[in-house]
Amino acid sequence: MPTPHIRAKALSTVLERRPKHTEAPSHRISEFFGSNVFNEEAMRMFLTEDAWYGVRQAINEGNRIDRKLADQVASGMKEWAASKGATHYTHWFQPLTGTSAEKHDAFFEPISGGRSIERFDGGMLVQQEPDASSFPSGGIRNTFEARGYSAWDPSSPAFVIGRTLCVPTIFISYTGEALDFKMPLLRAIKAVDEAATAVCQYFDKDVTKVTCTLGWEQEYFLIDEALYYARPDIMLSGRALFGHSPAKGQQLEDHYFGSIPERAVAFMRDFETEALKLGIPVKTRHNEVAPNQFECAPVFEELNLAVDHNMLLMDVMEKTARKHDFRVLLHEKPYAGVNGSGKHNNWSLATNTGKNLLRPAKTPKENIQFLAFFVNTIKAIHSHADVLRASIASANNDHRLGANEAPPAIISVFIGDYLTKLLDGLEKNIKGAMSPASKTELKLDIGRIPPVMLDNTDRNRTSPFAFTGNKFEFRAVGSSANCAASMTVLNTIVAFQLREFKRTVDALIMKGVKKDEAILRVIRDLIVESKAIRFEGNGYGEEWRAEAKKRGLSNIQDTPRALDVWERKETKKLFAEMGVLSEVELEARHEIELHSYVLKLQIESRVAGDLAVNHIIPAAINYQNRLIENVRGLKEVLGPEKSKKAGATQLELIEEISEHLGKLKSLTDAMIEARKQANTIEDHREKAIAYCDKVKPYLDRSDTMPTSWNC
Ligand code: ADP
Ligand code: MG
């Protein structure tokens, strides 16, 4: 707790601060967009024809880049980076800690005769061995080999930040196991490409590649730096562990889409400029629901790039915030009592022919293709809801899911009235073999899907997974999460489902059923099978919990239990068959996530204990002493009789404080004891469960504070 002195000082600092304006390089964003990226334009300028062609083949076809070519690319990249003022380079990767990692090396290298050169060759570009023994590996590196390698990912372009050339890389163990978020994501992207392209072949022979698209929406809070420093809980755990609801929170709903405070706009402009230079196509900014909560969203991009851009943006935001004497809070639930922050993941599939596979089209033929992808996605969610739930599980997100502000922990799919009717109609219409008349009728129906259904589909904000006209929006993702975690799972389950679909349709065709009819029949079966996952009502309501239970849908409340799905045989089969994560990799991830859950709660619990014992209790005793002094003084001045009346409130407060002190102390002691017990447990899962069930409840208690604060 800040002492009153710090608090007063902090508040006055906030009021005194004026926005810090920095000028963008130009009013036309197109003039500086991507200027710090080794993009197509830069490559054309700095690479030889061969090198440029090789990189393009690597991006488009996934071809390998040999050492000679890598040398040429490295040399061009170094020249370009130097022209941007870079003196160092780093392999930029996304270890399982959840943030991005970098280790800078200078281009500079001493040579004989006291001279030096700038060096960056193909070997340095392609592979590095960061001293990475402290990154989490879930036992992989202990079991197999201590080293971890980062390897160049040519599908995401290099960029310069400050004076450093950053090369996006994957991070793997010596034996090839993924130790990061990017590697499995790339594998999942490949799996979807293969499965989706095969399905597209039913409709259009020109489709040879399907890419995933992602447009994320990043929510965050801003807090003045002085207030941040006054709160050890926010500094160390990202959220307020003690406190009371503000008198004016979000009741009036006057913050959402309101005019953005000038100081916040100055910050936004500044970080957006940096982001735009890095090629991150940020486009939208607005206030969010809670006080001092905001959102930033870009134009969607190819998934791997979009993920990198989100990681980069979070970093740029944090750095820029400091320049503006702000701190940006990316935690999913920094303050109890007001909304938390999410990161909606808008996801779709696009073909090399430029078509969005989740956009309803004008002709029946194209709409059967749309329905195939639409219904298979729903079926994928239906079959693998628990895996998707696990992909968004974290200690932070547990506070947000189901708190009547974000989707519940029950995974369901919202598709809107129009498509619900269409699917219901299909379910009834296609039974067994179809007559020519029913076929025509059906095709007409399908052909009539209005391409723009945004009004129809964008309204239900309570659904974790909603169709919004031409894409699905996964809303349960947490604000601080790496999108790769949920996107890897989503694409894996969709790929798995599309492959099943293709097999079933092909089997019918083999039996002599016409292609269109076979496709429609399988679509119908999938509609029937996946019906339970579809929900159009209010996801926040109690009734939905009861209804979901009846339907047999899971409602997993906490992270350690949500993660159990990684141990299931079906999950291991799913990820192994799609070539996304081996059993060893899955187990490692499970262990890392459990461990990180424990560490987060451990830190929170330690900070809470520290605040209670070293800050709150002393401050309360100080206050109590002042009251006691006051009562004594009153007695002295007014005499024993009169002072009884005059000091009544003070005496009441003195007693109330003692009561709270006692409670705070005994609860803190009990929490520390629970933590000690939990720490003795060896098994990762059991330990996480102990933290969840035995330690966490103490952090959630509000009865250590005067009740008047909470009503
Ligand atoms: P909001 O949800 O705030 O109403 P929109 O739904 O219009 O905003 O857009 C949110 C995000 O969805 C943006 O980042 C946008 O680029 C992205 N988006 C639009 N089309 C697609 C698509 N085909 N694939 C992936 N993301 C998309
Ligand atoms: Mg949206």
Atom of ligand 1 nearest to the CA of 295: 3
The pLDDT tens digits of the residues spanning 125-151 come to 988 877 656 677 776 655 445 578 888
- Of the pLDDT bands very low, low, confident and very high (cuts 50, 70, 90), residue 4 is very low
pLDDT at 703: 63
Dihedral pair phi/psi, residue 115, rounded to 5°: -100, 175
Closest CA to 310 of 341, 348, 279: 279
For 138, residues 6+ apart whose C-beta sits below 8 A from its C-beta are: 96, 587, 588, 589, 590, 591, 592, 595
* Ligand index nearest the alpha carbon of residue 347: 1
Which numbered atom of ligand 1 lies nearest the CA of 356?
A: 23
Q: Which residues of 225-258 are buried (b: 16+ CB within 10 A; e: fewer)?
A: bbbbebbbbbeebbbbbbbeeeeeebeeeebeee
Query: Which residue owns the Cα nearest ligand 1 atom 14?
Result: 215
Q: Report CA(473)–ligand 1 centroid distance (Å).
A: 8
C-alpha 543 to ligand 2 mean position (Å): 25
What pLDDT is attached to residue 17? 65
Pocket of ligand 1 (CB under 6 A): 213-215, 217, 297-300, 346-348, 356, 468, 470-471
Task: Give, using CA atoms, the residue closest to atom 13 of ligand 1.
Answer: 215
Residue 393 has pLDDT above 70, yes or no: yes
Q: pLDDT tens for residues 217-227? A: 999 999 999 99
Quote the percentage of the chain above a pLDDT of 90.
69
Ligand 1 atom nearest to CA at 300: 16
**Contact status, residue 355 vs residue 369, Cβ threshold 8 Å:** no
Least distant ligand from the CA of 477:
2
For residue 113, the 8-state DSSP code is G
| Summary mean pLDDT of the chain | 89
Distance, CA 216 to ligand 1 centroid (Å)? 8
C-alpha 161 – ligand 2 centre gap (Å):
29
Say if residues 556 and 389 touch (Cβ distance below 8 Å).
yes
| Pocket-testing residue among 211, 217, 349, 490, ligand 1, by greatest number of atoms within 8 A of Cβ | 217
Mean of pLDDT values over 599-616: 95
pLDDT score, position 246:
75
More confident residue, 291 or 62: 291
* C-alpha 456 – ligand 1 centre gap (Å): 16
Q: Is the pLDDT of residue 3 over 60?
A: no
Closest ligand 1 atom, residue 297 Cα? 14
The model's pLDDT over 249-260, given as tens digits with 9 standing for 90+, comes to 777 666 666 788
pLDDT digits (tens, 9 = 90+) for 51-82: 999 888 888 877 888 888 999 999 999 999 99
Question: Distance from the CA of 484 to the center of ligand 1, in angstroms?
Answer: 17
Nearest CA to ligand 1 atom 19: 300
State both tokens at 186: 């790339």
Minimum CA distance residue for ligand 1 atom 17: 215
Backbone angles phi, psi at 380, to 5 degrees: -60, -45
Going from the Cα of 297 to the center of ligand 2, the distance in angstroms, rounded, reads 9
Q: What integer pLDDT is reported at residue 256 of this predicted model?
A: 67
CA of 645 to the centre of ligand 1 (A): 65
Per-residue pLDDT, 367: 87
Segment 576-602 mean pLDDT: 95
Q: Is 3.40.30.10 the CATH classification of the domain at 189-220+264-323+334-559?
A: no
Looking at ligand 1, which atom is closest to the CA of residue 350? 23
Instruction: Kindly report, residue by residue over 227-273, the tens digit of the pLDDT.
Output: 999 999 999 999 999 988 777 777 766 666 678 888 999 999 999 99
Taking the centre of ligand 2 as the mean of its atom positions, its distance from the CA of residue 514, in whole angstroms, is 39
Per-residue pLDDT of 429-440, as tens digits, reads 765 555 565 666
Name the residue among 561, 560, 566, 564 with its Cα closest to residue 597: 560
Ligand that comes closest to the CA of residue 286: 1
Output phi, psi for 168, to 5 deg. Answer: -60, 135
Q: Whose CA is nearest to atom 3 of ligand 1?
A: 217
Which residues are within 8 A (CB) of 679 and not within 5 positions of it... i.e. 6 or more apart? 602, 687
Q: Return the best residue to mutate from 284, 468, 471 for the ligand 1 pocket (most ligand atoms within 8 A of CB).
A: 471
CATH no. for 33-179: 3.10.20.70
Distance 96 CA to ligand 1 centre (A): 27
Closest ligand to 218 CA?
A: 1
So what's the pLDDT on residue 538? Answer: 87
Nearest C-alpha to atom 11 of ligand 1 is from which residue? 215
CA distance 22 to 31: 17
- Band (182; pLDDT cuts 50, 70, 90): very high
Pairwise pLDDT comparison (541 vs 558), residue with the higher score: 558
pLDDT of residue 192: 98
Question: How far apart, in whole angstroms, are the C-alpha atoms of residue 446 and residue 436?
Answer: 15
Position in ligand 1 atom list of the atom nearest CA 299: 16
Q: Which atom of ligand 1 sits closest to the CA of residue 468?
A: 6
Dihedral sign, Cα of residue 384, residue 424, residue 214, residue 342? negative
Distance CA(513)–CA(200), nearest Å, equals 19
**Closest residue by CA, ligand 1 atom 6:** 468
Centroid of ligand 2 to alpha carbon of 344 (angstroms): 7
User: What is the band of 425 on the pLDDT scale with cuts at 50, 70, 90?
Assistant: confident
Q: Where are the alpha helices (DSSP H) in 415-565?
A: 417-429, 436-447, 454-457, 483-510, 515-529, 542-551, 559-562
- Ligand 1 atom nearest to CA at 458: 4
What is the 388 CA–ligand 1 centroid distance (Å)? 20
pLDDT, residue 23, reads 77
CA 473–ligand 2 middle distance (angstroms) = 6
> Which ligand has the nearest atom to the CA of 455?
1
Q: What is the CATH number of domain 597-699?
A: 1.20.120.1560
Position 576 scores a pLDDT of 97
Nearest CA to ligand 1 atom 4: 458
Q: How far is the CA of 440 from the centre of ligand 2 (A)?
A: 36
Q: What percent of the chain has pLDDT over 70?
A: 88
Q: Say whether pLDDT at 710 is over 50.
A: no
Q: What are the extents of the domains in the chain?
A: 33-179, 189-220+264-323+334-559, 597-699
**Residue 597's pLDDT band (boundaries 50, 70, 90)?**
very high
101 pLDDT above the threshold of 60: yes
Query: Residue 365 belongs to what H/E stretch?
Result: helix 364-383
Distance 299 CA to ligand 1 centre (A): 7
SS3 at position 359:
coil
Q: Please state the pTM of the whole predicted model.
A: 0.92
Q: Note the pLDDT of residue 680.
A: 97
Q: Name the more confident of 178 and 337.
A: 178
Quick one: which atom of ligand 1 is closest to the CA of 344? 2
| Atom nearest to 216 CA in ligand 1 | 14
Ligand nearest to the CA of 216: 1
Q: Which of 189, 300, 347 to mutate to test the pocket of ligand 1 (most atoms within 8 A of CB)?
A: 300
Ligand 1 centre and the CA of 279: distance in Å? 18
- Nearest CA among 683, 675, 529, 666 for reference residue 600: 675
**Ligand 2: centre distance to CA 475 (Å):** 8
Confidence of residue 421 (pLDDT cuts 50, 70, 90): confident
Band of the pLDDT at 45, cuts 50, 70, 90?
very high
Task: Determine the atom of ligand 1 nearest the C-alpha atom of 359.
Answer: 23
Q: What angle do CA 76, 79, 83 make, to 5 degrees?
A: 140
Specify the higher pLDDT residue, 489 or 9. Answer: 489
Interval between CA 29 and ligand 1 midpoint (Å) = 20
Tell me what pLDDT residue 15 has: 47
DSSP 637-663: HHHHHHHHHHTHHHHHHHHHHHHHHHH
* pLDDT tens sequence across 613-652: 999 999 999 999 999 999 999 999 999 999 999 999 999 9
Q: What is the pLDDT of residue 132?
A: 58
pLDDT band of residue 1 (cuts 50, 70, 90) is: very low
Q: Tell me: pLDDT of 9 over 70.
A: no
Q: What is the pLDDT of residue 708?
A: 45
Round to whole Å and give the CA distance between 358 and 470: 5
Looking at all shown ligands, the one closest to residue 473's CA atom is 2
Which bound ligand lies closest to the C-alpha atom of 303?
Answer: 1
Q: What is the pLDDT of residues 463-472, one digit of tens each?
A: 899 999 899 9
